[in-house]
Structure 1
Amino acid sequence: MTTIRDAATVILLREGPDGPAVLMGQRGASAAFMPSKYVFPGGATEPGDAEARFARPLAEACRGALTDRAGTAPEAVAAAGLRELAEETGQVVARPWNGDGPGCAWPGFAGLLPDAGALRFVFRAITPPGRPRRFDARFFLADAGSLATDPDDFGAAEDELAHLHWVPLREARALDMPFITEVVLAEVAAIREGRAAPGVPFFDNRGETSAFRRLGVMDA
């Protein structure tokens, strides 16, 4: 049985000349998981994520909705999303560090601490059985105004995602993307337009039968 790993994704939303846009990139053709697909930056949690310090903590409502399955702490999931965003795009959601206590050793965070308070938990999905890799993925939404970096500079990005660019929401679904990414995009559009239903959508594929439900009502 394939182990389900905790994972996190951060969706950056930016208002641009062509309307709202999200930051996306394309996975490599040889990738074991979702090859050649356009996705949001993200990845699995790592042991060190649980030790991350934040400039601002997760909103309490956000923590409550994330605490659903025994295992990784909500803070570690948030840290994974912020770390993966920085690694895969060079974009840093952070605030200045005042020098009190240990800083952040992640690349790109010199003089900064990651800002979990900028994250809104908007979607959760567990990879269905039968896939080569399975993740319990939490999707966070963050406004590009929370960036401590130039939103158009991807020079510090690693090479995991190609063709990094801001995609207008109205054009994004025309890209070759996984089904779940398309569903999350629809939820982001609904949130931005103020028509999203209460709670956080959750595609639960832990068992043989898929289930859909909404996690506790929140405004984080």
Structure 2
Amino acid sequence: MDRPREYVFDIPVGAGIATRENADGPPARPKDSATVILLRDGADGLEVFLQHRVKGMPFAGGMTVFPGGGVDPRDADASVNWAGPPPSWWAGHFGGDDALARALVCGAVRETFEESGVLLAGTEDQVVDDVSPYHDARKALERREISLAGFLADAGLTLRADLLLPWAHWVTPVQEPRRYDTRFFAAKLPEGQRADGATSEATGTAWQRPQDAIADAREGRRMLMPPTWLTLSEIDAFATADEALSASREIVRTIPTLIREGEQIRIVLDESEE
């Protein structure tokens, strides 16, 4: 799906965005992270799972986002039980080496489970439909007491990379003190599972049609980061989750630029394959 090479967003100063104005030294090094766009077919059309982040958080506080977070070094554990496209396939889409690609996929699965309770794992031919036996493991993962590979091995489960689709690649602007090199994945809610809001990082969660979430943002009922807004716009073009997940995607590394103008921050998007 083609998209214009430049967009402009106006966001109020203090709306979850900090800048390194007049800061000395080089920009912060982006931390590798993964975000998952969870999809389901609702009664009125395709829906996306969204979280409202706690205000005051160091990054994107008060914003509405998809589940996700930074990669844990243990996410690169090569012993993880794996089904689906190999790490080399993911590296071909997102860049980096096989170890980073493995860490990104594992990070996507782990963060989705931690933040929404949705577990993209099972056996090679079946997906978990009841995650209740893994409640304690979910909390232990959140506290970093166990690794994803260790959890899956103990539970006799296999990571299902085939349930994920590479969607986009965003890097936080150089002006921000906290930066993330984020790969976006898309996945359909597995049958029998439900997404919840049992995470300390969110004040609320909801399934919404993309157009409704965008309308809420336009009318001031929520705040969306530019990557979230554009992703919702892209998802809105599809009628069903299966249709979205069968789409052909060209992954382009996109780095926004922040321009402060009075009480507004203009965000201009620049696409780069570097």
Q: TM-score, normalised by structure 1?
A: 0.78
Change (3 A) 1:111 1:162: farther
Partners of 1:212 and 1:111 in 2: CA distance: 41
* Among 28, 35, 44, the residue aligned to 1:2: 28
Measured against aligned partners, the alpha-carbon deviations of 1:132-164 in whole angstroms (never above 9, x if no partner) come to 21011000001113x6x6215x27x33112212
Deviation (angstroms), 1:96: 3.0
Contact map agreement 1:41 1:84 (CA 8 A) in 2: yes
Partners of 2:208 and 2:51 in 1: CA distance: 9
Report the counterpart of residue 199 of structure 1 in structure 2: 250
Change (3 A) 1:32 1:71: farther
* Among 37, 41, 49, the residue aligned to 1:11: 37
Contact map agreement 1:104 1:112 (CA 8 A) in 2: no
Matches within 5 A, 1:33-182: 33-51=59-77, 53-58=80-85, 61-66=89-94, 68-69=95-96, 73-96=100-123, 104-106=149-151, 110-145=155-190, 150-152=193-195, 154=196, 157-173=198-214, 174=216, 175-182=222-229
Contact map agreement 2:169 2:254 (CA 8 A) in 1: yes
Deviation (angstroms), 1:13: 0.6
Partners of 1:191 and 1:48 in 2: CA distance: 35
Any gaps of 5 or more consecutive residues in structure 1?
Answer: 216-220
Name the % identity: 28
Structure having the higher helix fraction is 2
Matched, 1:20 2:75: no
- After superposition, the CA RMSD in angstroms is 3.2
- Structure index of larger Rg: 2
Partners of 2:110 and 2:35 in 1: CA distance: 10
Deviation (angstroms), 1:69: 4.1
Deviation (angstroms), 1:64: 1.0
